[in-house]
């Protein structure tokens, strides 16, 4: 028995949207990256309580001075650069059957564009930046990216990339490596959660802390899981233990 289509169903048609030039380029690079690198995902929980305290104490004054807020991304970027200095095989590129360790840390920051798509401007020599300089640098490249004011020098030469979807409350992101780099770090949403903490004498108790996940996709040709696990452990240690107050 044939059923008649509902009201208006006969007129419905799928909308076909052609890929933009940017979308096509991203698609090509992402497919190429997955075909080139054996991606492995590793995730670590990060305690942001120390960072949260610094943001509460210095946030208003920082915004009054700089004209913008003190974001989690700034702290993540600084901690990442410090950890990369201790784990240089992640600040590297694969060239044929060799691993090229880069002397400078040129940090790529993925930026979403107003009309769709992504671009990854680069903060050159990020190892030389203070916390405040890192915040300014991220703000600058993000604003210029969204205003289509980046030059070729701004988007080339990256050695490690961070993508930050945390402002949208994401839980876990498995990003695709930005070739020819060997890893990409994704920082997701930070939320208040009950966690078990230990006092200096070893006593356990429940506390409310600001917790988020940091996930890294790495190229298994270049490094092994144990190396990346140690990098993430060091990153978590820096985030919770660095003297951020002294830098502001």
Domain assignment present for 36? no
Q: How many domains does the chain have?
A: 1
Strands 183-198 vs 160-164: parallel, antiparallel or unpaired: parallel
Annotated active-site positions, please?
220, 224
Domain assignment present for 159? yes
CATH code for the domain of 96: 3.30.559.10
Going through the chain in order, the beta strands assigned E by DSSP cover 39-47, 92-95, 98-101, 107-109, 111-112, 118-119, 122-123, 160-164, 183-198, 204-219
Q: Distance between CA 193 and CA 159 in Å, rounded? A: 34
- 5, pLDDT greater than 80: no
C-alpha to C-alpha distances, 19 to 24, 112, 114, 245, nearest whole angstrom: 6, 16, 16, 46
Cβ within 8 Å of residue 169, ≥6 positions away? 189, 191
Domain assignment present for 8? no
> What global pTM score does this model have?
0.90
Domain assignment present for 49? yes
Q: Distance between CA 72 and CA 189 in Å, rounded? A: 9
Q: What is the 3-state secondary structure (H, E, C) of 18-33?
A: CCCHHHHHHHHHHHHH
Range of the domain at 150: 41-247
pLDDT tens for each residue of 45-63: 999 999 999 999 999 999 9
Instruction: Work out the mean pLDDT of the chain and round it to a whole number.
Output: 93
C-alpha to C-alpha distances, 96 to 36, 93, 108, 221, nearest whole angstrom: 11, 10, 23, 11
Domain assignment present for 5? no
| Mean pLDDT value across residues 103-107 | 97
Domain assignment present for 2? no
pLDDT tens for each residue of 208-223: 999 999 999 999 999 9
pLDDT tens for each residue of 135-171: 999 999 999 999 999 999 999 999 999 999 999 999 9
- Helix, strand, coil abundance in the chain, percent, nearest 5: 40, 25, 35
Domain assignment present for 6? no
Q: Are 178 and 107 in contact (CB under 8 A)?
A: no
Q: Distance between CA 12 and CA 8 in Å, rounded? A: 7
């Amino acid at each position: 028995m044939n059923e008649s289509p509902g009201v208006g169903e006969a007129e419905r048609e799928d909308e076909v949207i052609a890929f933009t030039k940017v979308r096509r380029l991203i698609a090509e690079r992402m497919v190429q990256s997955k075909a080139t690198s054996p991606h492995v995902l590793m995730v670590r929980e990060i305690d942001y309580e120390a960072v949260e305290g610094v943001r509460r104490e210095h946030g208003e004054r920082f915004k009054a001075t700089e004209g913008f807020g003190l974001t989690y991304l700034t702290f993540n970027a600084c901690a990442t650069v410090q950890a990369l200095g201790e784990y240089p095989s992640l600040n590297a590129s694969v060239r044929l059957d060799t691993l090229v360790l880069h002397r400078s840390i040129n940090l790529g920051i993925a930026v979403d564009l107003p009309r769709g798509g992504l671009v990854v401007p680069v903060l050159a020599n990020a190892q030389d930046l203070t916390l405040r300089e890192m915040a300014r640098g991220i703000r600058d490249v993000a604003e210029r990216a969204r205003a289509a004011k980046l030059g070729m020098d701004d988007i080339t030469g990256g050695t490690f990339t961070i993508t930050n979807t945390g402002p949208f409350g994401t839980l876990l992101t498995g990003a695709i490596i930005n070739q020819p780099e060997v890893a990409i770090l994704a920082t997701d949403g930070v939320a208040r959660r009950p966690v078990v903490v230990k006092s200096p004498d070893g006593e356990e108790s429940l506390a409310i802390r600001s917790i988020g996940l940091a996930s890294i996709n790495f190229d298994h040709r270049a490094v092994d899981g144990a190396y990346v696990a140690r990098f993430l452990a060091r990153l978590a240690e820096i985030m919770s233990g660095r003297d951020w107050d002294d830098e502001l």
